[in-house]
Amino acid sequence: MSRVGNWQAPAQSRGASPARPTDAVLVAAARGGERWAQEALFRRHAGLALGLAYRLLGNDADVEDVVQEAQFIVFTRLDRLKEPQAFASWLAGTVVRRVQQLLRHRRVLVRLGLREPRPVDPDLAIAASTPPEVSADLQRIYAVVDTLSTQARMVLLLRKVDGYSLPEIAELMACSLSTVKRRLTEAEKVLADAHKEPA
């Protein structure tokens, strides 16, 4: 499946055009209190953050809240970013971790009977322009995500929907590569079992 996500910022946001400041320049200015730099970073990477949250949660009312919370976190902790040019990756990781927290919280509420489970509606999560063979793969994936553990769900979607490599997923989820491999194996087994032909 072709990669939908974008681990690195697009070429123009990495500074390919001399007319546009790089993320590193914008981060330095934002750290210095320049509001315009924060706004430029926000506009440049809002699509990345929204798209990632949308693909992980589906057509969900909480997508925009997750993105706003992630952006608030990264902008209040800019001093902790060791590589300013890696802002896009740092924001993506923050979005992923916020989604994980939200999904864990929802599972607790469902177990306590305080929330009804709401599975992802693949028809709303998959763009109409998606090629039929890709759409079929995505339908299969979204049909089982709610049966997976939170970590397995995240790994499966980041790998199969966004196309991240296993080391990239480990970085995004702030966990070990072996954990990512184990969760992917778990998710792929559930996916395969769900689509076995009846004997």
pLDDT at residue 103 tops 60: yes
132 token code pair? 């039929």
115 token code pair? 């929330």
pLDDT for 68: 95
- Sign of dihedral through CA atoms 162, 168, 171, 177? positive
Per-residue pLDDT band for 7 (boundaries 50, 70, 90) equals very low
pLDDT at residue 166 tops 60: yes
Contact of 30 with 59, CB cutoff 8 Å: no
Length of the chain: 199
